[in-house]
Amino acid sequence: MTLIAEAPPLGKQSSLPPVHTVTLTVNGTETQLQLAPWTSLLDALREYMDLTGTKKGCDHGQCGACTVLVNGKRINSCMTLAIMQEGNEITTIEGVGTDSPDGLHPLQKAFIDYDAFQCGYCTPGQICSAVGLLNEGHAKTTDDIRELMSGNICRCGAYTNIVVAIEEVMNQQSV
């Protein structure tokens, strides 16, 4: 069987995909972008805003490399559309720690102090997730940290040091 593709009717030409003005507040700065409605938040951050700290790992919400904070809660930025985040406060790794005199969030410092990374690819997502974990206030034990961080994969296996770094900051906050 031979399939023949038909040409579009005369007068009807295909057009470029529609774009919309999307206003995102990222790391305290409001930015207007022209985006296709199906653009993920991850792609908007990386491709349109040059915020490349947020990583594209699996692009299916399974690895956590793309974790950012939306209104202080952690989300996988690959699993949400940018247009859905209008009106929300988005914090990427580039915005974490900027209020501190030395420019580091306590978790960033703890990750350095406890060697909680190796190749570093997952580190931005790990830190954003850990900030969200502390904001949520559900972690009380080491096992809680392990469970609540289980959505962030580290291919290098730095889990032990990641947990110790988070535990250190959690214990400092409870003093």
CATH number of the domain within which 137 lies: 1.10.150.120
Asked whether residue 13 is domain-assigned, the answer is: no
Question: What's the confidence (pLDDT) of residue 139?
Answer: 95
Is the overall model pTM greater than 0.95, yes or no? no
Cβ atoms of 50 and 27 closer than 8 Å: no
Residue 74, token pair as written in the block: 């952690």
Q: Which of 61, 95, 129 is a domain's end point?
A: 95
Specify the number of domains making up the chain.
2
pLDDT digits (tens, 9 = 90+) for 110-135: 999 999 999 999 999 999 999 999 99
Asked whether residue 74 is domain-assigned, the answer is: yes
Question: Where residue 13 falls among pLDDT bands split at 50, 70, 90?
Answer: low
Q: Which of 30, 62, 95 is a domain's end point?
A: 95
Asked whether residue 150 is domain-assigned, the answer is: yes
Which CATH number covers residue 51?
3.10.20.30
Question: Where residue 101 falls among pLDDT bands split at 50, 70, 90?
Answer: confident
Same domain, 73 and 128: no
Query: Which range of residues forms the domain containing residue 152?
Result: 106-173
